[in-house]
Amino acid sequence: MRPISLVVCLYRERDLLARLLRETAGLFDDLVVVHDGLEEPESEQPPSVAASHVNAIDFSQIEASAPPHPAYRQPNLPPRAGSIHELVLNHGGRFFEGPRCFQQEPHWPFAWSQARHDWILRLDADEFPSTDMKAWLENFRAAQEPPVEVSGYTCIWPLWDGARAITRRWPAGRNFLIHRQRVRFFGMVEHVPVPDGRYESLPFILRHEPARISYGLRNILVRRQGYAWRRVIAQSLLGSPLDLPRWRCQSAAWPEFWSRLRRRPIRYGLYSLLRGTAVTIRDQWRAERIIKPLMAVACPLHHFLIALLYRRLKRKMPSPPI
């Protein structure tokens, strides 16, 4: 049997986590849940102070027998009734509270270091596997180890309008199961684990069903989280990936997309806005025979706004001494 660790990083979302644990019952052998900040928000540290405690750490280098990093804590027992802590313990898991980062990606390296198994089922609290994906996971746990060049698996991640999924075959490429010793990662919003080998694409659906619409311009221009993400990304781009919490990442080089944006933020931001929108419209038509321009422009516009913010922040940086 091939064991799997389910790893979830979240902020509040107790009811969604309860649904996820209900839908994944019997599909994992270990559970690690990391809360972004303390579960009781009134006593949280300021984000600029708290987030700095986990920067520039490669959590893959920490011995499994070592105590958890001091920036993360396991709350005292017994857990408060109705808390996420209680829910996790009731499902046999381990619950940690980390620094408040306003995003989940900086917590992934620590969370992976706490997992007991190398295969990581990487799900958000507002997601859960479809029936076909559940059957595949059951078979995966019972099957032999795949070749070492397989670093993980990707799936389809349909768009959700708050009441129903509006796509069936697009977008695809969402990695949901990874082998932690075969991927590299640094903890910045929107960065995904980079495989040593390859991801195998699967035709199964991961249901992403938050209490809100999951796509579109509203998420980019109205939702406060979008502004927080853009600021975190722009600030991260002022430095090096090695300044961030990371997993098996030893290179100071940015991936090609971010490297180009750093060199020519306005020019490459505009290029990405136009090309990204066109490519997304093409992919919509090929996968679903639909064209939704406002949906297609949302992510490229998000990246263009990051480029503008990065350029502004870079101009405010003090000039190096002559």
Average pLDDT, integer, range 269-287: 95
Structure tokens, 196: 């040593």
Residues 322 and 231: their CA atoms lie apart, in Å, by 29
What residues pair up with 31 in beta bridges, in sequence order? 6
What residues pair up with 165 in beta bridges, in sequence order? 160
Whole-number pLDDT of residue 322: 57
Whole-number pLDDT of residue 35: 97
221 pLDDT above the threshold of 90: no
What residues pair up with 58 in beta bridges, in sequence order? 246
* Residue that is written with structure tokens 């920490």 in the block: 62
Structure tokens, 2: 């091939």
223 pLDDT above the threshold of 90: no
Closest alpha carbon to 108 in 5, 215, 261: 5
Number of helices (H), then strands (E), belonging to the chain: the values are 10, 11
- Percent of the chain whose predicted confidence (pLDDT) is above 70: 95
Structure tokens, 78: 């017994």
Contact partners, residue 22, CB within 8 Å, separation at least 6 = none
Reported as a single tens digit per residue, the pLDDT across 75-118 is 999 999 999 999 999 999 999 999 988 889 999 999 999 999 99
DSSP annotation string for 84-129? HHHHHHHTT-EEEEE---SSSGGGHHHHHHH-SSSEEEE--TTEEE
Whole-number pLDDT of residue 50: 47
List the chain domain ranges.
217-316
Whole-number pLDDT of residue 51: 53
Q: According to the per-residue pLDDT averaged within each range, which of 52-66, 112-126, 280-294 is highest?
A: 112-126
Are 124 and 214 a contacting pair, CB within 8 Å? no
Are 52 and 45 a contacting pair, CB within 8 Å? no
Measured from the Cβ of residue 319, the count of other Cβ atoms closer than 10 Å reads: 5
Whole-number pLDDT of residue 225: 86
Whole-number pLDDT of residue 319: 66
Q: How confident is the model at residue 49 (pLDDT cuts 50, 70, 90)?
A: very low
Q: How confident is the model at residue 63 (pLDDT cuts 50, 70, 90)?
A: confident
* Position 222, amino acid: V
Whole-number pLDDT of residue 48: 45
Whole-number pLDDT of residue 318: 78
More confident of the two residues 176 and 319: 176
45 pLDDT above the threshold of 80: no
Residues 253 and 11: their CA atoms lie apart, in Å, by 30
143 pLDDT above the threshold of 90: yes
What's the order of all strands across the beta sheet hosting 246-247?
Answer: 194-195, 183-186, 246-247
Structure tokens, 54: 């986990």
The 8-class DSSP code of residue 160 comes to B
Average pLDDT, integer, range 194-198: 97
Are 166 and 208 a contacting pair, CB within 8 Å? no
Q: Tell whether the torsion through CA atoms of 77, 80, 84 and 86 is positive or negative.
A: positive
DSSP annotation string for 272-283? HHHHHHHHHHHH
What residues pair up with 150 in beta bridges, in sequence order? 198
Q: What does each C-alpha distance from 128 to 51, 125, 177, 207 come to in angstroms?
A: 28, 8, 13, 5
Whole-number pLDDT of residue 208: 96
13 pLDDT above the threshold of 50: yes
Contact partners, residue 171, CB within 8 Å, separation at least 6 = 156, 157, 158, 159, 283, 287
